Structure 1
Amino acid sequence: MNVRMMRVSALCLIVLAFATTSEGQALSPQQVAAALADTKHDGAYKMGPFRVTTPYARVVEARKEAERALRPVTAADLPADILGSHIVVWAFPYATGGVAFVPPGVNSPVRIILRPVRSRDLAQAVQPVSLETVPQSFGNAMGATWPAQAVGAIFPREVIATGQWEIVAIYQAGNTRTAKLTLAGKQ
């Protein structure tokens, strides 16, 4: 597992700490036990430039974090916010420029929404229940650094249970990045 993915796993746990709603437990005790025993699942789902976690994926990530810390984890050790029925979507900064006399820079996300696929109607968009920014930085071999931020957004899974949705991240430079949200068949 690379360093960025380890940081993101820790960030997912941080963003869950600020969840302000209590949607209740989305996983049955049997599903929690299955997720704790699942060694083939990677945790979060990668959808284009985004990472998406479901309750099952968060339990798998919590088990992996515990394994890295060399401590056991049981269903009783899992906080209620990990088991909540919400999904968490992460968007990350990316480097810009840096070639042919163009100074390098970083473009960070500032907001994430969900909207029906190919829809431009903002009235149909689903706004996040909660949004968190996590500071990051980019650097080069000469020691220069550029501040950046990742954004995590919590959405109620019940709202997007039907229909086809896409993730839209709005960046500081005014551009957007999109990817189809595919949770069908995923726990």
Structure 2
Amino acid sequence: WVWTDNVFISFKVSLFTVRASKGTLGYAGMAIAGIFGKWKEAKAKMEELFDHSLWMEEATEKFCMAGVETAFHWCNTWTMVKYGSAVYIFLIFMVILFLSMGSGFTYYYTHVHSTHTGRMWIRVCYTIAPCCAMFGLLQYIMLTFWLGKGEKQLVGETKSNYGLGFVFGCVLTLLTLVPLYL
């Protein structure tokens, strides 16, 4: 969904997990440690910090630890990412629920018994679903916007971008408007 990287560390963030890996200086540090014969110790320390996937809650706890928070000031950003992901997941389930209910009401209205009440519930469900999808996407953008932008005190430029999963989510959000039109 979102990725960010700089010379020290790279993050790939989905709605459920965070993948942390070394940046350019991380690999350079490993090479220097290998020259001085402390490669295994350095590798163990680097793997403890980087090169593994964490669940969103674990990542937030790890990046809000006292030493990490003092050095990088990430806690607020990662807390926002965690909340943005959790709310977006909840709203995705609400979209699925309302689209399913709307299709059930549409089936009943079309094939069994057409009433004004049925038509009203079809409109309600097909209106609430895109509203939930758009609100979820908007709040996710607002809460994850600062990911990768707060590390300006680090050496080098920090890049951050929304990935293919995010674009797919935007397309699906627009597609939730189709049943309302039909």
* TM-score, scaled to structure 2: 0.26
Between 1 and 2, higher relative CO (CA 8 Å, sep ≥ 6) is seen in 2
- Give the structure with the higher percent helix: 2
Q: Which has the higher strand share?
A: 1
Query: What is the TM-score of this pair, normalised by structure 1?
Result: 0.25
Could you say which structure has the larger radius of gyration? 2
